Chains A and B, each alone.
Chain A
């Protein structure tokens, strides 16, 4: 016995350690089951739907207790519901939290949640930092954008190449005059890298305030950001919150007569082109070889033709026939799409796509002065008695009077007071910094009588008339859809604007129901395969098979403990890895047993056969497992997301497998045969 003491102690210590590592996981499972029950109970007493409770119960900003108190429940129910809320938020939440932080982490595919990869629009970043833009610049950037659509072309390389081919020195638009292209490029690159780091911080802020528990945000390569948001129940909203640039600007509206001039000029130009009169078009400064010029050009002539560059928004605007009779259309193709209204330009919803196309068409851009730009309202509204939806179109000064970087705070509330735009509707209150307050009062003071548009991400929420100088250092945004939107806008404004817009390039959302289905399927498969293999081994190798089965149980136990210890994440493919490990776990023992059988057949004694069997099998076991491990490690290094989870459990499984077969099974055999003279072996 003495000679085995060390090995016995090692095994027992490992088992105890593994049990200790796995205890929080067990506890957490129990607690979350209990939590579900409690939430159901609370839902039935308070009348608040479970889905909302699950979302709001642990968020302090949500006044659940107040809501319960204001409800028309009987007093007794109110009291018990409030008690339940307090309990769930207090001791219970901390117990749950404490165990969760030590339990095996569940991947998004098992618990439900959202994985997002955002790509920072580097071309836009370039555009934002450029100075002295002119036609040549526009042509350059168009080319850069077009060529960087190719997955293999990086924006900055495209810029370098294009600039060289067009014979433009980069220092003209970026950096100092006379700087070499290489210098400018490296400067731009480092600015971009800074901008991405900043975006990361801002996104982290937003997500934290959104109320996601344990989000993970990381940089992925040079222009991407990966976000993991476990437990997100409203993916649409989360994506909006994360993807929004949140650039807040205050822009003055163009003077009414200037607006009229621009509209008329546009209308004239389009009408002339529709008549085929192109004599006036100055083609020298527009690079007509560009694909998108060609496509928008055809569009302007033939609006029915399909457009390759249309945005999805236009695509689904469900454009029906154009309004107005065709004769008028020919005469005033642009103006006929608009409706003069209460001082604003109103556009019936079905015309919006066409108007956008006209405005964005490159050959029409020259009729829009550089210091002005068209901006749409944030949402369509019903105007007058007409049941139709209208969008408002504004012409504003391109240069903002003030931007959102001078905000000190913002929060969402319900509007009150006499203003019909605010009373009883969700609004966002913004507080300026002291400097911001000064600028705002100066701007408003200097422009009394004019209209100031509040522009968020190129959408106008409101454009109030300035009746007097506003010196309070605060302002209000109205015209929001609902409380959620107000909340989200307040969050993004607090967290600050992203340096450039971001695009979702990858998204994987798993609903909570799909997640729990996966868990069920995983558990079931795990148990069934475990059972199948266990029985088979018992049947085929009898007693020895039983030893192999115990080794396999130990194997799974240690594998799970390792997951908990190193805080690895368990995913659905990870469960597949565990199941595969079960299948392969017995392999080492099969190799050993087969060898022992061979040796026994050669007439060796039990003791000698076991010794020889182990000795000879070990070389084979190592060779065989190293090959699988190599595949596993490669997957671990190069794999992404779900594959990593699979590779992880497989690789750990193989390592533990080796240990269990060589160390544990050997010990059991030694204990078994060591003491007495065994004549036959149950194998």
Chain B
């Protein structure tokens, strides 16, 4: 029988503060970057016009930029798709008259690159109103998901556990956000979907550990809560790691081979799976412990 972590007995709870300071450092760095640099919103949220063009013979983004000079072009960059020729992404803010914009871009490209045929691979236009609405809707769905999950966990366990789970989830979201800031990845609708999924995924791990704690609490009435937690985490460690590993593997494949459409999405999931696993061990249970101990202290004072 192959087994990782056979009879492991790590003292997770004891080291929680070290882990939490690392988390806080990452989160703070991410938030500072958010304020300083600002998030790289995709067209879904900022509105505008994105045109993806592929040339028969490869050109550089610099050549395209100079061909379009003088036009109100926001950004020209190459989008790489693995193993394929690169496409050029032309990005504009103005959505007032898509038609005119596109016509003009088309004319410029044709005259600037004679003999080099180009095709429009994709166009995305999002009006400013729509962008704002999509943003609001995304926020709303995240909030709804969190509230529902809070209710479910309070119902299945206790409120303290729900709080622990939510803290762990927020931690995951903030850490993943921080990584998006560090790497400058674009935040699109599908990235937000990934965020919501990782909320579910991170809770999945957490719930498995909580389940074990609940079970051990019944079995070992005399043992200290912190010890029960350590034992429970260790008992489920093998499962936690294996599941995270299989999910990580599949997401990694998606990140590498899934094409540019899913790159942001799978990046979010990659970071999310790692932090989700980490937080269910180091953040969720310790948060419950902290909460429970404070309550006990308050009870004594009274």
Contact = CB atoms under 8 A, between A and B. Distances in A.
Most buried by B among A510, A590, A591: A590
B176 interface: no
B196 A627 contact: no
B34 interface: no
A539 B149 contact: no
B190 interface: yes
A421 interface: no
A34 interface: no
Contacts of B119: 511, 513
Interface in B261-280: 261-262, 265-266, 269
A623 B100 contact: no
A549 to B, nearest CB: 11
B120 A235 contact: yes
Interface in A610-658: 616, 619-620, 623-632, 634-635, 637-643, 646-647, 650
Nearest to A631: B200
B221 to A, nearest CB: 19
A423 interface: no
A312 B254 contact: no
Interface string B117-134: 001111111111110111
B152 to A, nearest CB: 6
A505 B196 contact: no
A321 interface: no
B156 A587 contact: no
Interface in A548-594: 572-573, 576, 579-580, 582-584, 586-587, 590-591, 594
Most buried by B among A507, A616, A631, A635: A631
B190 A630 contact: no
Interface stretch (B24-32, B55-63, B90-98, B289-297): B90-98
Contact of B52 (A514, A637, A638): A514
A388 interface: no
A635 to B, nearest CB: 5
B19 interface: no
B145 to A, nearest CB: 4
Nearest to A114: B123
B250 A579 contact: yes
B128 A572 contact: no
Given A151-B128, A522-B258, A630 B145 contact: yes
Nearest to A531: B253
A513 B118 CA distance: 12
Interface string A315-326: 110000000000
A516 B259 CA distance: 11
B77 interface: no
A587 B121 contact: no
B297 to A, nearest CB: 30
Interface in B35-85: 52, 54, 71-72, 81-82, 84
Nearest to A505: B127
Given A518-B259, A573-B265, A583-B250, A511 B122 contact: yes
Given A109-B261, A525-B254, A529-B253, A646 B124 contact: no
A108 to B, nearest CB: 10
Given A513-B54, A525-B258, A579-B254, A643 B190 contact: yes
Contacts of B54: 513
A634 B104 contact: no
A514 B121 contact: yes
A540 interface: yes
A627 B149 contact: yes
Contact of B258 (A576, A598, A683): A576
A509 interface: yes
Contacts of A521: 81-82, 257-259, 261-262
A616 to B, nearest CB: 8
Interface residues of A, number: 80
B162 to A, nearest CB: 11
A576 B254 contact: yes
B242 interface: yes
B204 A628 contact: yes
Most buried by B among A573, A597, A630, A650: A630
A40 B120 CA distance: 22
Interface in B185-231: 189-190, 192-193, 196-197, 199-201, 203-205, 207-208, 210-212, 215
Interface in A235-294: 235-236, 239-240, 243
A591 B205 CA distance: 11
B250 to A, nearest CB: 4
A647 B249 CA distance: 20
A316 B100 contact: yes
B193 A646 contact: yes
B69 to A, nearest CB: 13
B248 to A, nearest CB: 8
B99 interface: yes
Contacts of B189: 640-643
Contacts of B259: 517-518, 521-522, 572
B111 interface: no
Interface of A: 109, 117, 119, 151, 235-236, 239-240, 243, 311-313, 315-316, 503-511, 513-514, 517-518, 521-522, 524-525, 528-529, 532-533, 536-537, 539-540, 572-573, 576, 579-580, 582-584, 586-587, 590-591, 594, 597-598, 616, 619-620, 623-632, 634-635, 637-643, 646-647, 650, 683
23 contacts: A312-B94, A504-B125, A507-B125, A508-B124, A509-B124, A514-B121, A533-B249, A536-B249, A537-B246, A573-B190, A573-B262, A579-B250, A584-B246, A587-B247, A626-B152, A627-B204, A631-B145, A631-B201, A634-B141, A635-B193, A638-B144, A642-B193, A643-B190
Given A313-B97, A579-B254, A634-B148, 14 more contacts: A117-B130, A119-B127, A151-B129, A240-B99, A504-B125, A505-B130, A507-B98, A514-B52, A572-B259, A580-B269, A623-B208, A626-B152, A642-B189, A683-B1
